[in-house]
Amino acid sequence: VMIALDVDGVVLNLEQRIIELGEDLFARPMLRLNNRYRFADRYGLNELEIEQLWREFDQRGLLGQLKPYAGAIEAIQEMQSLGMPIAFVTGIGSNWQAARDANLRACGLRDFQLFCTGSAFEPKRPVLEAIGAHTFIDDRLRHLHDVQELIAHLVWIDLGDEQELDHSEISAHRYPSLATWFSCHRQELIELHQSNRQSRSE
């Protein structure tokens, strides 16, 4: 049972790192004003500020220094202990692959596949189809929508952010975090994995 996961917004907390950097650069609280997708709109930054923020973010290599969401690493490690292969399918450029790999390993993860699709707007379907994912977990509904007839089990991590689609348009389980989803579906995944192993041995 291949489990495919997005990284930012599912496993690692990009937004918190952006907030910390913004407060350091601009010497003021970064207050969330709305649920807009663009950080500039969400935190009321002007164009010069958002350019400075992303420039500093890149120069400091902060994409490789993100902290995990509570319980996310433990959930993935338990999936792996149950024999489920893990693949991360993340919307970043290949130039960041080494940093992302190191970040995930620094959090305690091992024995995973990592695919970088180029940007947050590039489709993830080609990778998901190639690896034969059974479950796909993402915080962006558009990526789930692209594969809803391809993947058996879709999971939307709802962070309260603006989306291009409505959840009613997609057949996906909705949870506030990866840890919550896993705790609710743990036994189901175990039984499915055992069933698949038994089928392969017959």
User: Given this model, what pLDDT does residue 201 score?
Assistant: 63
pLDDT value of residue 89:
98
Crossing angle (nearest 10°) for helices 14-26 and 47-59: 110
Burial class, 157, CB count within 10 angstroms (exposed 0-12 / middle 13-18 / buried 19+): buried
* 97: region left, alpha or beta (phi > 0 left; psi from -120 to 50 alpha): alpha
Residues in Cβ contact with 189 at an 8 Å cutoff, skipping those fewer than 6 apart: 1, 79, 82, 84, 135, 182
Per-residue pLDDT of the chain (202 residues; tens, 9 = 90+): 899 999 999 999 999 999 999 999 999 999 999 999 999 999 999 999 999 999 999 999 999 999 999 999 999 999 999 999 999 999 999 999 999 999 999 999 999 999 999 988 899 999 999 999 999 999 999 999 999 999 999 999 999 999 988 888 899 999 999 999 999 999 988 888 787 776 666 6
